[in-house]
Amino acid sequence: MTEFGPILVMAILVLPIGSAALLALVPDTRATGHLNALASLLTFLVSTSLFFVRPEPGPFLIVDDVNVVFIVLTTFVAFTTSVFSSSYIAHELDTTRLTPTYLRFYHAMYQTLMFAMNLALLSNNVGLMWVAIELATLTTVLMVGLYRTPAALEAAWKYFILGSVGIALALFGTILVYLAASAVVGEGLDAMAWSVLVKRAASFDPHLLNLAFAFLLLGYGTKVGLVPLHAWLPDAHAEGPTPISAVLSGLLLNVALFAVLRFKMVMSANPGALAPGPLMVTLGLLSVLFAAFMLFRRHDIKRMFAYSSIEHMGIITFAFGMGGPLANFAGLLHMTFHSLTKSAIFFSVGHIAQIKGTQTMSEIRGLTVSHPVLGWGLVLGVMTIVGLPPMGIFMSEFLIITSTFPRQPVLAVALGLGLLLTLGALLLRLNGLAFGEPYGNEAPAQASFIPMFAHLGLVLAAGIFLPPALVSWFQYVAGLLG
C-alpha cells in the first residue's frame, strides 16, 4: 500500500490547484458552485486515505501523526463550506452583488486557498510552509475585498498590511531557525526539514532558538489572531463573503496555529531553550479576556462572531501553552469542535444576512418565528459555541479548566471568567436575534441546511460519545505535542 502514498499526497495538492485552474476557465456560473463542491469532496476523500497509508517523509512533504488530524479536518470543513458556498453564491448572483467574472475569480481563489492550506500542513520544509501560508494570506486578502465596497477594501488593505508584516516577522524567525540548525545539521535542505529539526533540536543553540521563537510566535500569531495582533481579523470576517469568513475562522487560523505548534515542538525538544508555554498562555489568556469584553459592544453580527473566534483561538493557544497530555488533548478537541461549530454558525449567519439584507443586529429580530430552521440552527450554534452541555465544546473547555486548576489555579479562574463573560455577551445578543417579534424581510430562506446541521450534529455526537479510537488517537498526538 505504501507505494501509493506519494501519489495520494500529491493528489491532495494537485486536486485543488488543478480545479482552481479549471474553475478559472469554466464560464457557466451555475455549474461552477457544484464543481467547486465536487473538487472539495474528492480532496476530502483522498485525505481520509492518509489514515491508512503513510508515505515516507521527503525533504519537502511529510505526513505524520500530527498533521493528519489537521489535514482531514481542513479538507472536511472545506468540503462542507463549498456546499454552503454554492447556495450562498447563487443568491449573490441573483441579487447581482457579484458579477459572473468575479464569481469565476472567487471559485478559483477558493481552491487556491485550499491548495495553500494543504501545502502548509503537508510541508516538511519550514521555508515551504512559510511560502504556503503567505499564499493563503494573499488569496484570502483578494477574497475579503471581493465586494469592493469601501468597507471591504479597507478590511482587505488592513489585513494585507498587518498580515504581510506578520509574515515578514515569521520569515525572520524561520531564517534564525535555519541558522541554529545549520550549525548542527549542516547546510542545505536538511536544516529546514521539520522532521530533522525535531530530532536534532536538543543540540541547537538555545539562544538563537529563543529569539527565533519570539519572531515566529509574533509572526504566525498575527495570523492566528492573538491579541494584540488581532486588528485585521474582525474587519476581514465582517466584510468578505460569508463562506470565506467560515473558512478563515474554521481553517486558516488553525493552519497558522499549526505552524506555531510545529516550532513549539522544536523549542520543547531543546532543554536549554526558553519554555514556549508561558508566552503562549499569556497571549492566549489576553485574547480570551479582551475578546470577552469586546463582545459586549458589537453591532454587526459577523463581527461579533469574529471576536468569538479570537476568544476561541485564545483558548486553544492557552491549552497548548499549558502543555502536558491532558491540556494538549483538550486543545486538539477544542480546535476541532471550534472549526466545526464556528463554520456552522457562519453558514446560518450568511443566509440570515442575505435574507435580511443587513448585518446590523438591531435590524435582525425574531428569527425563530420568521425562519424556524435557520433561527433554531443559530440558537443551537450559539449554545454550542458558548460551551453549554451536552455539546462537545463544553467537554473540551471543561477539560482545559480542570487540567489547569491543579497547576495554575489563578490562570484557571481568569480563563473561567473569560468564558463566563463570553457566555453572557453572546446569549444577550442571541436573545434579541432569535426571539421576539420578527423584524425586517421575512422571505423564506432558500438555503442548504445540511452543512450546518451536519457540523452541529457531529459536535453534539462527540459531546455525548467520543469514539474510543478517536480518543486514543488524539491522546497519542497530544503526547507528541509535548
Partner 1 sequence: MDRLALDVAHLFAGGLVLASFMLLYQDRMFGLLNIFALHALIVSLSVAWQAHIQLAPHLYVTAAIALVVKAIIIPVVLHRIIVRLGIHRTIETVGGIGQIMLAGIALVALSILVMLPITAQAGTLTREDLAFSLSVILLGLLMMISRRNAVSQVIGFMSIENGLILAATAAKGMPLVVEISVAFSIIIALIVVGIFLFRIRERFDTMDVHAMGRFRGGQP
| Interaction site with partner 1 (CB under 8 A) | 125, 127-128, 130-131, 134-135, 138, 141, 145, 150-151, 153-154, 156-158, 160-161, 164-165, 167-169, 171-172, 175-176, 178-179, 182-183, 187-189, 191-192, 205, 207-208, 210-211, 235, 238-239, 297-300, 303, 360, 362
The CA-CA-CA angle for residues 250, 27, 80, to 5°, reads 20
Residues β-bridged to residue 193: 125
CA distance 230 to 234: 8
Residue (of 452, 448, 440, 449) closest to 367 by Cα position: 440
HSE of 430 in the Cβ direction (CA atoms, 13 Å)? 21
Preceding peptide of 406 cis, ω within 30°: no
Residue (of 425, 429, 417, 421) closest to 296 by Cα position: 425
Give me the amino acid identity at 474.
F
Nearest residue (CB) to partner 1, 175 versus 388: 175
Does residue 74 contact residue 117 with C-beta atoms inside 8 Å?
A: yes
DSSP 194-258: HHHHHHHGGGS-HHHHHHHHHHHHHHHHHHHT-TTS-THHHHHHHHS-HHHHHHIIIIIHHHHHH
* Cβ-proximal residues to 88 (8 Å cutoff; 6+ apart), any chain: 241, 242, 243, 350, 351, 354
Minimum CB separation from partner 1 for residue 192, in Å?
Answer: 6
Q: How many of the other CB atoms lie within 10 Å of CB of 275? A: 13
Nearest residue (CB) to partner 1, 228 versus 409: 228
How many Å separate Cα 187 from the centre of its chain? 34
Minimum CB separation from partner 1 for residue 145, in Å?
Answer: 7
* Cβ-proximal residues to 408 (8 Å cutoff; 6+ apart), any chain: 322
Give me the amino acid identity at 76.
F
Does residue 23 contact residue 121 with C-beta atoms inside 8 Å?
A: no
Minimum CB separation from partner 1 for residue 233, in Å?
Answer: 13
